[in-house]
Amino acid sequence: MTAKILLVEDELAIQELLEFNIRQAGFQVMRAEDAETAWQQIRTQLPDMILLDWMLPNTSGIVLAKQLRADARTKDIPIIMLTARGDERDKVMGLEAGADDYITKPFSPRELMARIRAVLRRHIPQMPDETIKVAGLMLSPTAHRVVAGDVSIELGPTEFRLLHFFMTHPERVYSRTQLLDQVWGTQVFVEERTVDVHIRRLRAALEPAEFDGMIQTVRGSGYRFSTQ
């Protein structure tokens, strides 16, 4: 999977230079020239990282970074702030607003790519190896096995990931969009109805062991994994 980077930069020349370098390095690029366009882009597809210019028209990069951190859907997307302002106070302010790293213009493409790779490496979600047990339900990522009570459960890869996500995030409601982002990943573009299909399959697989009640529908909101 190729990581997708959203560039938020109002100066066209810099935007093009950045895009060129990022594409050369093998990443995909989404572009926005202000906060409003950035949100439009994010609504369509979640980027894996945001390269955010400090000085933007209307809403500044700092304000946008804070908004991104305050939104459940975007709070975990890594942000690198770009700025012409090099002093320490600004740097602290950028990091406090939620940026993961900070680059001062002018920067070399090599330095930029090194920073991007370092930040992405820290953020790539990995399925941990530990076996998870919740109220009689056991899931082992390494063995790709699920046991409900004494019954071995056969799951497809998507249902397996979905159950893994639910078991590691119990008692919380997730919208279809959030489940798509978390389980399918931000690279894949599928309809929200797809979530319902896989939820149905997951329940059907858990039903013989009578564990299907753990996958609960929360009307108007989404789904929840619960032992209650």
**Under the rule (CB under 5 A), what is the footprint of Ca ion?**
10, 53, 55
Q: How far is the CB of 49 from Ca ion (least distance, A)?
A: 18
Helices (H) and strands (E) counted in the chain, each on its own, are 8, 12
Q: Which is nearer to Ca ion, 31 or 198 (CB)?
A: 31
Q: Which is nearer to Ca ion, 29 or 55 (CB)?
A: 55
Q: How far is the CB of 102 from Ca ion (least distance, A)?
A: 15
Q: Which is nearer to Ca ion, 32 or 68 (CB)?
A: 32
Tokens of 207: 């039903």
Q: How far is the CB of 154 from Ca ion (least distance, A)?
A: 54
Q: How far is the CB of 107 from Ca ion (least distance, A)?
A: 14
Peptide bond into 106 cis (omega under 30): yes
Q: Which is nearer to Ca ion, 10 or 90 (CB)?
A: 10
* CA 66 to each of CA 27, 69, 75, 146: distance values in angstroms, whole numbers, following the listed order: 25, 5, 9, 40
Q: Which is nearer to Ca ion, 55 or 134 (CB)?
A: 55
Q: Where are the alpha helices (DSSP H) in the chain?
A: 12-24, 35-44, 61-70, 88-96, 109-123, 157-168, 176-179, 193-206
Measured between its terminal Cα atoms, the distance across the chain in Å is 37
Contact by Cβ (8 Å): 81, 102: yes
CA 193, 194, 200, 206 dihedral sign is negative
Which residue has the closest beta carbon to Ca ion?
A: 55
Q: How far is the CB of 118 from Ca ion (least distance, A)?
A: 23
